[in-house]
Copies of this chain bind each other. A is one copy, B any other.
């Protein structure tokens, strides 16, 4: 028996409401910062109940398309924050059994060209931001958690320095997934901190001198070091990445 009729899907009202408002936002008919009508008003306009509107708002909220500004009750249109979107990607990858090796491989591919690009496009302010992150890392002698955070921040600053949001957002999930295992690695491998600090220093120099190829090389070495660190720490690269 062949399937003659496609299963007709009747979407529930709350999804239609969410889709309608979502399209308005994506098409920029509703602009960033603009405040949404109250729930009662939305319910009146769509001809549905307030509960239905609320369910739709929860969906838009979780997509980051609307937000409540602190100290305000009305929802306002917002652009999804990078960290939020990246968290969604991280969670998806987590559940898809991504391994430490997978993440490391992606970093290998992504980061060196990213540093290379940053060496061309970075502004003075970018450089300052990157240098600050590197200094913060070197200053952290104690807690691994802080060190890991500074280390990730270093990457983030380089990502921003490319002035390409696509690249910045592409690396964010990797950093989120890397943090837990990186913390373990730094704790177990004494010399890791020094090696990371050195690579960061060289990278700052390369970025300052605007030498793309040098930046590429040092970033590649930086990432390769991570793998060595994992091996020295006895972390199996085939293990699944753990939740942040």
Residues on A close to B: CB < 8 A? 7, 14, 18, 25-27, 32, 51, 54-56, 58-59, 61-65, 70-71, 79-80, 82, 85, 88-89, 91-98, 102-103, 105-106, 109-110, 113-114, 117, 164-167, 169-170, 173-174, 243
Contact = CB atoms under 8 A, between A and B. Distances in A.
25 contacts: A18-B62, A25-B95, A27-B243, A55-B55, A55-B58, A59-B61, A63-B88, A64-B88, A64-B92, A65-B91, A80-B88, A80-B91, A82-B92, A89-B89, A92-B169, A96-B165, A97-B165, A98-B165, A102-B164, A102-B166, A102-B167, A105-B117, A106-B166, A109-B114, A110-B170
Contacts of A173: 166
A185 to B, nearest CB: 19
The interface residues of chain A, by DSSP majority, are classed as helix
A106 B164 contact: yes
A121 to B, nearest CB: 10
**How many copies of the chain does the oligomer comprise?**
2
Given A85-B92, A93-B165, A97-B165, 8 more contacts: A26-B94, A26-B95, A54-B55, A88-B88, A105-B164, A109-B110, A109-B167, A166-B174
Contacts of A62: 18, 58-59, 62-63
B59 A79 contact: no
A214 B167 CA distance: 25
A109 B169 CA distance: 14
A79 B58 contact: no
A8 to B, nearest CB: 11
B85 A169 contact: no
Nearest to A51: B51
A26 B91 contact: yes
A212 to B, nearest CB: 12
A164 B134 CA distance: 30
Contact of A243 (B26, B71, B94): B26
